[in-house]
Amino acid sequence: MSRSQRSTDFGFEEVPLEEKADRVRDVFDSVSDRYDLMNDLMSLGVHRVWKRFTLARARLGEGDFALDVAGGTGDLALGMARKVGPSGRVVLSDINHSMLARGRNRLIDEGMSGNVSFCVGDAEHLPFPAAQFDCVTIGFGLRNVTDKLAALRSIRAVLKPGGQALILEFSKPVVPGLTPIYDLYSFKLLPLLGRAVAGDADSYRYLAESIRMHPDQESLEEMMIEAGFENTGYHNLTGGIVALHFGYRL
């Protein structure tokens, strides 16, 4: 079967494989202006705690070189830039021009442009030489990638030996009784919030659906192992609504 005949998920919808990236790009073009505000409203600010947890586990020091894939408006890139200091370097990469522009403007406003560079890049085919980075992060971006295994392999390829990957993503709740409450919020309240604040219920409905289609904790760890990562594991956050996966290139 040819590639053009194959399909993949776009939320709960099946779409031709080659269409997903463009449709995801349209979603983030639509929400980029209100993306940070919506993150605060949707999570009641807890996304900042998840990202601080991630940054606290990033094994970065002065002078290190880090990459934030699908980095959007730059929360993780900003934190890593502070960790590596003026002698280090962080690359903020995203496939979406409008999100990357907002991230660039934000980091410049924060005075962090001196040790940060910006790159339009596809997570499945990262445009960097092999073995460049001490740490690579991807926060809430992997579920939007068409070929997640290809993205994981690409991330591993650009890590230095001993380098660390950190993948922060929505996952499967593990606390009894949490799933129905989470479903009610995701499929009823979230689209209403998207319509009221961002003027776009459909994009936030897709984002909720994409979370349900994303591999659960164990499945994603298995994918990381298949991609060649070692010493893998994960931390459940907020009852498993979010998980931070980690792995190393040894």
Tens digits of per-residue pLDDT, 87-112? Answer: 999 999 999 999 999 999 999 999 88
Task: Determine the Cα–Cα distance for residues 215 and 149; give it in Å rounded to an integer.
Answer: 11
- The region of weakest confidence among 21-25, 29-33, 91-95, 123-127 is 29-33
CA 224 to each of CA 80, 89, 233: distance values in angstroms, whole numbers, following the listed order: 22, 25, 9
**33 secondary structure, DSSP code:** G
pLDDT, average across residues 163-185: 95
Burial 131-170 (b: 16+ CB within 10 A, else e): ebbbbbbbbbbbbbbbbbeebbbbbbbbbbeebbbbbbbb
Residue 160: phi, psi to the nearest 5?
-70, 155
Length reported for the chain? 250
pLDDT per residue as tens digits for the range 54-80:
999 999 999 999 999 999 999 999 999
- Are the CB atoms for 168 and 138 separated by under 8 Å? yes
> Has residue 5 got a pLDDT over 80?
no
Find out if CATH 3.30.70.3170 is the number for domain 21-174+206-249: no
Q: What is the pTM of this model?
A: 0.92
